[in-house]
Amino acid sequence: MANLPIIGPLQLVYFWFKNRSRRKMISNWAASKGLQFAPDAKTFSPPENRHGHEDASHFAKHSDRAQKIFSRMFGMSKIQASYPQFAANRFRGDWQTDKNICWGEVGGKTVIVWDTVLYDLDLRNDDWTEGMYTSILVLTDTPIHRTLIAPNKLFKRLSSFGIEEGRGTFSMSTVKFELEAFNKAYRVRGQDRKWTFDIIDQEMIDWLMENQGHTIELAAGGSMISTWFTLTPDRINQQLDFATKFLDHIPEDLQHADDGPAETKK
C-alpha cells in the first residue's frame, strides 16, 4: 500500500509565495467594498445558518461506507461545511481549506466571498496537485427552494459540474419554459417545479436573457456562485452583482412568503 503523500515545508512555502499577491489583491478589493478581510478561516466565523439541517447532498442518509468514500480525506472548506444546503464544489479535491475571505454587507445583503484551496492526492505516485477556486455566497431571508440555473452551453456549464458532483442535483428535475430562446440559453433544474416557474416569471426571463453567462445555485438562505477557477476583482464584481440582483428580481409576493422550502413538488 502506498504511503500518504506528504505536503512538505518547501511546498507550503511555494504556495505561500504564490498566494501572497492574490491575498493582497483581494484584501484591496475587500477594502474598496467596505468588507472585512481575513487571510484564512482561523479568524473568521461564518454567520449563523438557520438552514444547516438541509443537506443538499443528503450526506447523512448514506451508509457509513458511502460516507467514507465521499468524505474529505483530511479536511473540508469551513465555509462550505457551514452551509451544507449548497452543493457547489463540495466534494472537489481530496482536501480543502479557505483563503482570502471577505464578508460584510453589499446592497443590503450579507455576503461572503472567498477562495478555496484544494489538493488532489495521487497515492500511487506519492504526489499531489493543488488548485484554487472562488465562491460567492449571498444570504437572504427570502424563502428559497433548491434550484440550479446554468448557461446551456457545454463550456459555460463547466461551473455547474461541481454542483452536480456535489450531488446537489439528485433531487432536482429539469424545468422547461414556453420561450424556446430561454431554454436554449439556460438549463434550469429545480426541486420544486411550481416554485421554479413562479420565480422565473417573464420579468426574470427578460433579465436573465440580458445577463447571460452565469451559473447560480439557489438554496434555503440564499444564492451561491462557486466557480471552477479563481476570479479577478472585476469578475468578482460581475458575479456578485448578478447573485445579489437575482434575489432582488424574485417576484415581490414570493420574497415575503411565509412558507419556507418544502418537499419536492412534481
Total of domains in the chain: 2
Q: Are residues 22 and 121 in the same domain?
A: yes
Residue 4: per-residue pLDDT: 45
* Average pLDDT of the segment spanning 218-223: 94
Q: Are residues 110 and 156 in the same domain?
A: no
Residue 172: per-residue pLDDT: 81
- Residue 231 main-chain phi, psi, to 5 deg: -110, 145
Interval 101-160: pLDDT, tens: 999 999 899 999 999 988 776 666 666 677 889 999 999 999 999 999 998 876 555 555
Q: Are residues 190 and 234 in the same domain?
A: yes
Q: Are residues 43 and 102 in the same domain?
A: yes
Does pLDDT of 174 surpass 60?
Answer: yes
Domain around 33? 9-130
Tell me, rounded to whole angstroms, the distance of Cα 30 from its chain centroid: 19
The grid coordinates of residue 126 equal 506519492
- pTM exceeds cut of 0.85: no
